[in-house]
Amino acid sequence: MNHTIIKAVCAELNLQPNQITPIEGGYQNHIFRIDIGGKRKILRLSSERTRSKNEILSEILWCQSLFQKGISVAKVLEISDSEIVCSINVDKAVYHAVLFEEVSGRKLSYSEYLNNEQMFAMLGDFTGRIHLHSQEFIKNNLICRPLWNENSYLKRFKQLVSFEETELHRAYDSVIKELNAHHQDKSNFGLIHGDINVGNFHVSDNHIIMYDFDECQFSWYVEDIAIQLFYTVYVYGEDIKNQRIDQGRKFMKSFLDAYKKNRSISDDELAMIPLFLRLREIIVYTGILMKWDFDNLNPWQRDYLRETKKRICLQIPLLKLDEIIR
């Protein structure tokens, strides 16, 4: 498929095949590095089946606004004829292409990230700044992005999980119902990144540069915090739950101290964190059903699959609020 896509991209953007290199790791998109005159750029192709052109334009508009405000995000570049989104036909399918400047710095390994309280604070500062900006941005722009319950993985859950798995379906319905009952207004609900994790930013000169806003959506701001907390602690199994709690406390302390310098957050918002941990576990479980090779699971995967399914069915979050915030 990559060969067909590369051929179509070359024809549309007047490039040679040796200028384009596929990059692994794009779960819902095709990602390529493009070399033009010795300068590296990142090309992202999104299928029309998963993202409309208007959704992508809204994402890019927010990224441009953040960049103009001095917030460290990947710079969006014009892709062709003053366009920032270009539609490309590939074998009767439509892909929307966006071009970014390749960010400086490097990705952290997961082991470098864990217990890195300075990094947790940097993420708290960044998240607080984009949430503060979001409140102003959505007042002045017509934005076409999904709501939190329109997440593509959530929409696949019912299709992938057998109806015989009644406890899983009950847990899914319960968390959606509980979240829908929560109050939302312009002070606690707006545009969020939706997928901040160690794989979506680079570190350069003691600051982070964020990219991959493809999952940005309308939700409670606190979901962005819960997502980061989840990806910080999910690797700790039930046999070392004390380490999970310790890591969660470290993350929340450093993160919130920095976050609150940009945006205040109420106790009512923080109380939603366990709900969003449950929601994220369902989203990740759906991704597992889509991507893991169940005939070749390693020991950690087997343990995690067993434990995550049990937590979801029992409607237990990875962490309770009083375990991580004192």
User: What's the length of the chain?
Assistant: 326
| Residue 36 pLDDT exceeds 70 | yes
CA angle in degrees (0–180, nearest 5) for 175-154-65: 105
CATH of the domain at 158: 3.90.1200.10
- CB burial of 121-143 (b: ≥16 within 10 Å; e: otherwise) equals bbbbbbbbbbbbbbbebbeeeeb
Of all residues in the chain, the percent with pLDDT exceeding 90 is: 87
Same domain, 231 and 255: yes
Distance CA 72, CA 257 (A): 20
158 and 281 in a single domain? The answer is: yes
Q: What's the number of CA atoms in the CB half-sphere (13 Å) around residue 139?
A: 9
pLDDT tier, 139 (very low <50, low <70, confident <90, very high otherwise):
confident
CA distance 159 to 5: 28
Can you give the C-alpha Rg of the chain in angstroms? Answer: 20
Structural domain total, the chain? 2
Percent of the chain clearing pLDDT 70 (strictly above): 99
**195-254: pLDDT as tens digits:** 999 999 999 988 999 999 999 999 999 999 999 999 999 999 999 999 999 999 999 999
pLDDT at 140: 86
Is the same domain home to 206 and 304?
yes
Same domain, 144 and 37: no
CB neighbours of residue 207 within 10 Å: 13
Mean pLDDT of 284-297: 96
Residue type, 217: Q
Domain range for residue 86?
Answer: 2-101
What tens digit of pLDDT does each residue of 294-313 get? 999 999 999 999 999 999 99
Buried b / exposed e over 236-264, threshold 16 CB at 10 Å, is beeeeeeebbbbbbbbbbbbbebbeebbe
pLDDT given for residue 37 in this prediction:
77
Q: What's residue 25's pLDDT?
A: 66
SS3 content of the chain, % helix, strand, coil (to 5): 50, 20, 30
Tell me, what CATH number does 96's domain have?
3.30.200.20
Regarding whether 43 and 180 lie in a shared domain, the answer is: no
The pLDDT value recorded for residue 2 is 72
Same domain assignment for residues 207 and 189: yes
Please check whether residues 209 and 293 belong to one and the same domain. yes
**Model confidence band, residue 82 (pLDDT cutoffs 50, 70, 90):** confident
Position 295 scores a pLDDT of: 97
Please tell me which residue, 36 or 109, carries the higher pLDDT value. 109
pTM for the model stands at 0.96
Same domain, 119 and 185: yes
Same domain, 136 and 206: yes
Say yes or no: 72 and 128 in one domain. Answer: no
Q: How confident is the model at residue 26 (pLDDT cuts 50, 70, 90)?
A: low
Q: Are residues 72 and 114 in the same domain?
A: no
Domain termination residue (choose one: 72, 101, 130): 101
Residue 286 pLDDT class (50, 70, 90 cuts) = very high
Same domain, 114 and 209: yes
Higher confidence at residue 284 or residue 9?
A: 284
Comparing C-alpha atoms, which of 130, 157, 286 is closest to residue 216?
130
Place 39 in a pLDDT band, splitting at 50, 70 and 90: confident
